[in-house]
Amino acid sequence: MVNLKVNLSGLELSNPIIPASGCFGFGKEFIQYYDINILGSFCTKGTTKEARFGNDTPRIAESSCGMLNSVGLQNPGILHVVRQVLKEISSYYSKPVIANISGFSIEEYEYCAKSLRGIDNIGLIEVNISCPNVHEGGMSFGTNADMAAKVTKAVVKVADKPVYIKLSPNVTDIVSIAKACEEAGAAGICAINTLLGMRIDIKNRKPVLANITGGLSGPAVFPVALRMVYQIYKAVKIPIIGIGGISSTDDVIEMMMAGATAVQIGSMNLIDPCICKTIIEDLPERLNRLKVKDINEIIGGAH
């Protein structure tokens, strides 16, 4: 029997497979396909202080090896999530979830983190720092090490759960940002968020997305995500959740060998709603063939 259990800052997962924020909603849509309690955990849809309708449509554009999204953080707001959604989740998912929060100022991040205090079915808080800082001219919090550290420090100060910072790949040096977050008190790192991209409608001679640009996800970004996780693992001592283009059992193993303790699977859930179930079922046999008895043996194994 292969041991698939992993530990994220004291939160024990039965396996390292976690659907990513934005591609799994709040889990309810997937219970018609399989028992989602087999998941290690799942990451909730990104939540902000106020309810958001999101960006204008079109919001989605296809790519040959992935997809672009410009949804714009559509969500019902943190108080609705606390008062209703998280309680509803506990009726169909028995394990702690990872709560993803976003903000457009330090104060908004603090507000969201404070609002999540004392909620039993939250195991970790994932902080999306790819949002523009409205007080600093619109620059993304995640593109500057100092700003990333400030967000991290502020959330850690008010949160009652381990804080994981989700890093943007749209930077020249993701390692320095990861280190700044670790020094500011982050319990872990999530890497990576989507890569900035666009598509053009050649008949109408204009961008496909109403927002012009969007976040590229899917198999196309996997080698980039893998490289960044590998680099971050060499530089920090805190756990990493690897994200970006994972679409198979072997991708999971590669990402863990690069340094991830667990992984998140995103846009593949939209193509195959049972992808996480398939990978969880395939992992033991694949690890057996690699003569691995404990999945923790492979974490960072490529270094």
- Please give the DSSP secondary-structure letter assigned to residue 88: H
The residues, any chain, with a CB within 8 Å of residue 235's CB and separated by 6 or more, are 175, 178, 179
Label residue 25 exposed, middle or buried (CB < 10 Å: 0-12, 13-18, 19+). Answer: middle
Cβ proximity of 69 and 194 under 8 Å: yes
Is-catalytic flag, 23?
no
- Separation between Cα atoms, residue 235 and residue 237, nearest integer Å: 7
- For residues 78, 79, 81, 83, the Cα torsion angle rounded to the nearest 10 degrees is 160
Q: How far is CA 15 from CA 36, 93, 277, 289, in A?
A: 12, 15, 11, 18
Cβ proximity of 244 and 223 under 8 Å: no
Residue among 131, 181, 190, 276 flagged as catalytic: 131
| Tokens, residue 7 | 């530990």
| Helix residue ranges per DSSP H, the chain | 78-80, 86-92, 106-115, 145-158, 174-183, 222-235, 249-258, 268-271, 275-289
Chain position carrying tokens 């709040």: 26
Interhelix angle for 275-289 vs 249-258, to 10°? 70
With the C-alpha atoms ordered 256, 258, 263, 269, is the resulting torsion angle positive or negative?
Answer: negative
The terminus-to-terminus CA distance of the chain in angstroms comes to 26
Active site amino acids = 131
